[in-house]
Amino acid sequence: MTKIYAIVNQKGGVGKTTSVINLAANLAENGRRVLIVDIDPQANATSGIGIDKNDLERSMYDLLLEESTAVDATIHQEEFRLDVIPSHPALAGAEVELVNAIGREYRLQKGLDGLNGRYDYILIDCPPSLGLLTVNALTAAKDGVIIPVQCEYLALEGLTQLVQTVELVQKYLNPNLKVRGLIMTMYDSRTNLSRQVVEEVRRYFPGKVFRTIVPRNVRLSEAPSYGQPITAYAPKSPGAMAYKVLTAELIKGDKS
Ligand code: ADP
Ligand code: MG
């Protein structure tokens, strides 16, 4: 059975795209068949995995407007042994174009249905908002959401609203939706603040925070400009180690 997760947080810059790319790359290294689905018009996951967003025949835009199947919109990245449904800046307009469309919240789910078990994991990279694109991702994410949280002041701000949105989508659109886990990102071991934020989030979401914490690591921020996951760019870096262990934790939790 394919596991489908949406990586979501309406705050920008918390590590959504970094987590999608590096979880996907590690899942692929573990022999899993992986698809990255980029539903953020900024297309950072697309470019971060080495695909030129300005040179696409088909993208998420065409999928949501039902002008392409998921299979036809998929690009195979042989180098990292994973597949990508790329995003495109035109996707920013889809939110408006779909406003009156029938079944507008289900477009992604319907599209991914056509993949018929080709993948073990599908990871959806969401934009920094709770609009229709994110709602499409939440509706398609049959196995839940993964929420990256940056270890900084006011980390919890916005999470109440995010949880409310998850509950609304669960009630009306996707009865199986749940919070699969929270990833603490950009942890700085030199500060008390990072430690306090982790404790606070653990208290707020008991049992839901992944044990593996992702440190602040400059290698992780450099890798996307080379179009590479950390497994290729700096496999021995602390950031690479963290995502490797985090991936193992995810796989283990999915088995039990
Ligand atoms: P989002 O997708 O939530 O907007 P990103 O994954 O793009 O967030 O991360 C925001 C910025 O922080 C990017 O420049 C990224 O390279 C950088 N970054 C993400 N995680 C880390 C980390 N653990 N250490 C250092 N830089 C990071
Ligand atoms: Mg992003």
Q: Please tell me the distance between residue 186's alpha carbon and the centre of ligand 1 in angstroms.
A: 8
- The span from the CA of 37 to the CA of 179, in Å, is 19
- The pLDDT of residue 54: 87
- The span from the CA of 24 to the CA of 244, in Å, is 10
CB 15 within 8 A of CB 133: no
For the stretch 155-198, pLDDT in tens is 898 999 999 999 999 999 999 999 999 999 999 999 999 999 99
Q: What is the CATH number of the domain that holds 14?
A: 3.40.50.300
Q: Report the amino acid identity of residue 142.
A: K
- The span from the CA of 98 to the CA of 116, in Å, is 25
Whole-prediction pTM value? Answer: 0.98
Q: Does residue 72 sit in helix, strand or coil?
A: helix
Q: Please tell me the distance between residue 180's alpha carbon and the centre of ligand 1 in angstroms.
A: 21
What is the tally of helices (H) and strands (E) in the chain? Answer: 12, 7
Domain count along the chain: 1
Q: How confident is the model at residue 152 (pLDDT cuts 50, 70, 90)?
A: very high
- The pLDDT of residue 254: 96
Other C-beta atoms lying within 10 Å of the C-beta of residue 63: 27
CB 194 within 8 A of CB 151: yes
The answer to whether residue 256 sits within a structural domain is no
For the stretch 28-78, pLDDT in tens is 999 999 999 999 999 999 999 999 988 899 999 999 999 999 999 999 999
Question: Which range marks the domain in which residue 242 is found?
Answer: 3-250
**Cβ(217) to ligand 1 under 6 A?**
yes
The answer to whether residue 123 sits within a structural domain is yes
The answer to whether residue 255 sits within a structural domain is no
